A and B are shown apart, each in its own frame.
Chain A
Amino acid sequence: MFAPARRKTDSRPARARNLVWLAPLALTALVGCATRNDLYVLLPGKDGKTGALIVESEGKKQTLDTPYAAARVKNVGSVEGIKSSAAEVKQDFGPALQAQPKRPVSFYLYFLADTDEFAPESKALVNKIFAEIARRPAPEIAIIGHSDRVGTVPYNDALSLRRAERCRDELLKLGIPKVRISIAGRGWREPEIPTAQDVSEPRNRRVEISVR
């Protein structure tokens, strides 16, 4: 098809012929005709705090940091800041929002100092935990042990894990399948009450039971 015989019939130089094919693309860019229908929306947090989202398209950035702040990307490399609303979000994202899993709920059990023995008030919580597990599809229980700051990091990592194991053993005795339970020891990394080193703090000697 590129035989010399055909070229004779086309009087335009080769470069001009190539440019003809680019014309529709150039026109698209000029009138700003959209190639994408992208929308990004920051929601108010359920806990009352709104986070932030940085939307970046080929170096162009928009930071969304107020409730319903939104960004539209109609072409790669352009990010347009706009405002959405609760009603629009329902319209645009209804099924995805309806499919959101239930939020994880946490319960806290407290321990006597330097032990994996429950503080007495914690025993009553077990019924509440069971009710929460029963309400959920495919429930998982993440048991997370914590410690205060008396002792070293490795010691407290091990102690917090031992507390988590103790809780797991109690839940296993009550008939919760082992595959549904995961355990972790966080040591003193996530104190309920921040303290200085070597301060004994009962509220930090706890196990979080997150049901999700």
Chain B
Amino acid sequence: MRSALIALTLPMVLAFSVAVAAQEAGQIKVSKGSAQIERSGKKLPATVGQVVHQGDVVVTGADGSVGITFRDSSLLSVGPDSVLAIDRFVFDSTTHQGSFDSSLKQGTLAVVSGKLAKQSPEAMKVKTPAAILGVRGTEFLVRTSPAKD
């Protein structure tokens, strides 16, 4: 019985994870200085036109900055010495339901929220090592770093 259940659900789970992995979350529109995308342990150059997926981490150097437009029209851009993880991006283009979670581990981030946040106040969250942000719309800025000695 149990093995039958596993046999039944496993292909569904696999099919689902493949669909999620393949889904495009957004595209890089602006890239300056040193900037990379970390994906499954690999480092890719963060060039204009590069597709960004759920699970990617955007990393900029001391002279770097990157701007990304997401499928729900959210705009996220990071300044120098920043690390931004795209933890989750799910967007249904018919209903506008889904969720968008990202974490700024360090550095600076500018956000213009898009259709997900407009559809549901719970849909978009931004985390930092010290705080969690509930996004009720539109434009804001985030800086997170340890205090200087």
Contact = CB atoms under 8 A, between A and B. Distances in A.
- Do chains A and B stick together as partners? yes
Given A96-B65, A100-B30, A100-B77, A76 B112 contact: no
B25 interface: no
A96 B79 contact: yes
Pick the most buried of A52, A79, A189: most chain B CB atoms within 10 A of its CB: A52
A51 interface: yes
A156 B134 CA distance: 34
Nearest to B135: A53
Interface in A57-98: 57, 64-65, 73-74, 76, 79, 89, 92-98
Interface string B64-84: 011111010101011110100
> Interface extent on B, as a size class?
35 or more
A192 interface: no
Given A51-B113, A138-B48, A184-B93, A35 B65 contact: no
Given A74-B147, A101-B68, A212-B69, A96 B29 contact: no
Contacts of B93: 142, 144, 182, 184, 186
Given A93-B143, A140-B69, 8 more contacts: A38-B128, A44-B139, A93-B141, A95-B32, A97-B77, A100-B75, A100-B110, A138-B28
Interface of A: 33-47, 49-57, 64-65, 73-74, 76, 79, 89, 92-104, 136-138, 140, 142, 144, 157, 182, 184-187, 189, 210, 212
Interface of B: 27-30, 32, 48-49, 65-69, 71, 73, 75, 77-80, 82, 93-96, 108-110, 112-113, 128-148
